[in-house]
Amino acid sequence: MKRILLVEDTPHLSEEIADILRMEGYQVTVVNNGLEALALLSEAKPDLIITDLLMPKMDGYEFVREIRSMTPFGSIPIVILSARTSAADKTHGMEVGANAFIQKPCKAHELVTSIKSLLR
């Protein structure tokens, strides 16, 4: 069973995403922000990370950049799921090392498809 770490500070949204992913057969761990995620990284050993961009304490870009600088998780697939929609945001996200950039709101299967392809 593949493990997914979901970094999202909006509880009602993270609940729904987690529900869908679990029903798709993933093991999901939800954290509120980048810092929490980094702290939990070694224990949770995720196969993939989904992260929001606008979060308190550490935003998504910084979080992705941080992960990419860490040896054991340097190549872990990361999906940015954000309400930010500009092309600049998207470019920036890919530059810091995200593997996919999905806009909120999106269809569940769009997210699931993206995850599946990254985990293949």
Binding-site ranges for other proteins (CB under 8 A): 9-13, 15-17, 19-20, 23, 32, 54, 56, 83-86, 103-109
What is the smallest separation between the CB atom of 3 and other proteins, expressed in angstroms? 20
What is the smallest separation between the CB atom of 25 and other proteins, expressed in angstroms? 11
What is the smallest separation between the CB atom of 120 and other proteins, expressed in angstroms? 21
Which of 9, 47 has the CB closer to other proteins? Answer: 9
Q: Count other Cβ atoms within 10 Å, centred on residue 96.
A: 18
Which of 54, 119 has the CB closer to other proteins? Answer: 54
Which residue, 40, 35, 36, 32, is CA-closest to 8? 32
What is the smallest separation between the CB atom of 70 and other proteins, expressed in angstroms? 25
Q: Evaluate whether 9 touches 41 at the Cβ level (below 8 Å).
A: no
Q: How far apart (Å, rounded) are the C-alpha atoms in residues 87 and 91? A: 6
Q: Which residues of 47-69 are buried (b: 16+ CB within 10 A; e: fewer)?
A: bbbbbbbebeebebbebbebbee
Which of 41, 102 has the CB closer to other proteins? Answer: 102
Which of 65, 84 has the CB closer to other proteins? Answer: 84
Prior bond of 46 cis (ω within 30°): no
